[in-house]
Amino acid sequence: MAEAVEPDALEPGDGPLRVALLSYRSKPHCGGQGVYLRHLSRELVDLGHSVEVFSGQPYPELDRDEIVLTKVPSLDLYRDEDPFRTPGREEFRDWVDVLEFAHMRTGGFPEPLTFSLRALRELRRRRRDFDVVHDNQVLGLGNLGITRLGLPLVTSIHHPISVDRRIEIEAAPDLKAKLGKRRWYGFVTMQSQVARRIGPVLTVSGSSKVDIVKDFKVDPHDIHILPLGVDTRIFHPRGERVPGRIVAMASADAPIKGVDVLLRAVAKVATERDVHVVVVSRPKADGPTERLVRELALGDRVRFVSGISDEELGELLASAEVAVVPSRYEGFSLPAVEHMASGTPLVASRAGALPEVVGDAAILVEPGDVEELAGVLRRLHDSPEERGKVGAAGLARVQERYAWRAVAQATVGHYRNAITQRRYLRMAAGR
């Protein structure tokens, strides 16, 4: 029998809501999940709601003292300085830790599952503290227990990770690597099963909605499109730009992000023009990206930066003459919007949601087409007039469409709908 739920946990009316925001990892500057969590939590608090973030490592940066961060630590098996580490015996606290380590040692990625189990344990103890739970693309089996606690649940799926899995398997060089990728992405099957059973889903674009329906088989009536915003306090035009500078923000070693395509295009342009590229990312030591840089003899024509402050990131994006999002797929692409907000002319792949996000305010190229990208980079390098026109169009589109406060206001509407639906279900069951 379901446990009784306090009325005030389900019937907050139009007043402030108590929100539990779940995120299994929350990198603040790269990876859309961490950026989304940071900005949404800030705007929710500014609207008068209370927010408690439950997160595993890496923990988020939060912009308001009123936001509570409850750390839900994993074994942190993928930390940048020691990935796939073996923890000491004293680090194991319970059976979930054992499950996490065993899953990693067999080639899988356990964090969505193990975080969801830990978060459910926390929420079970504190179910009367919240009016609604918002899952930031965890989609672990533990999430299925949240509604059984009587807590309304809203889930964000930025895009189904099945797309990443497909692209990485196709890019794997041999059968052993392909099998390894299949095992690593084994959690996607779980996410698909959970997505079909957890109720309302928020996603960031029509393209992502189509992919969620196709790959996860979620009822399209359960999916609501809510684009993301941009923090124009950080990302805005700042005056003079560095001649020949091209900037990209993308995970360097992830095939889905297309950094290899960008580097090959820059290598071609650099034989004729004085250009250089700055990539906001940290490639693996002697990984595929570092090897490609050596193969292309790019030398000081390429620089990778990471760990920089918001202000430094804003200055970097606004210092470029051209920005590139070379991805083979994007469910939305916050970097694209941040480049446009900086007034930087944007070149983006005609892939996933990118055409939908940038509209006619960027130059689109075929994903993976090195020659086409190189040709566009040459053209923009040679034409200050075209750069100015494209940059101004991008800035205007951001000012018209993308604001975090509006995102938060719309999200609260979905919270209230979920609360109302849960209340009616309870009434229909006679409780």
Place of tokens 């796939």: 84
Alpha-carbon span 348 to 355, nearest angstrom: 8
In 3D space, the residue among 75, 81, 50, 80 whose CA is nearest the CA of residue 65 turns out to be: 50
- The token duo for 260 is 């290899």
Contact, 207 vs 231, CB < 8 A? Answer: no
Residue 333 has pLDDT above 80, yes or no: yes
pLDDT at 239: 86
CATH architecture of 7-229+404-428: 3-Layer(aba) Sandwich (3.40)
Per DSSP, the residues of 148-217 read: GGT--EEEE-SS-THHHHHHHHHH-SSHHHHHHHHHHTTHHHHHHHHHTTS--EEES-HHHHHHHHHHH-
Q: What count of other Cβ atoms lies within 10 Å of the Cβ of residue 99?
A: 14
pLDDT in tens, 80-131: 888 899 999 999 999 999 999 999 999 999 999 999 999 999 999 999 999 9
pLDDT digits (tens, 9 = 90+) for 182-226: 999 999 999 999 999 999 999 999 999 999 999 999 999 999 999
Give the model confidence (pLDDT) of 248-279 as tens digits.
Answer: 999 989 999 999 999 999 999 999 999 999 99
What's the CATH number of domain 245-401, 1.10.3720.10, 3.40.50.10480, 3.40.50.2000, 3.10.150.10? Answer: 3.40.50.2000
- What global pTM score does this model have? 0.84
CA distance 337 to 358: 8
- What is the residue whose two structure tokens read 């988020």? 60
Q: What is the pLDDT of residue 3?
A: 39
Determine the average pLDDT of the residues in 291-304: 96
Euclidean distance between the first and the last CA atom of the chain, given in angstroms as a whole number: 11
The pLDDT assigned to 422 comes to 86
Would you state the pLDDT for residue 34?
87
At how many degrees (to 10) do helices 175-184 and 162-171 cross?
A: 170
pLDDT band of 31, cuts 50, 70, 90? low
> What span, in angstroms and rounded, lies between the C-alpha atoms of 376 and 312?
27
> What stretch(es) of the chain map to CATH 3.40.50.2000?
7-229+404-428, 245-401
Helices (H) and strands (E) in the chain, counts: 15, 13
Q: What is the mean pLDDT of residues 323-339?
A: 95
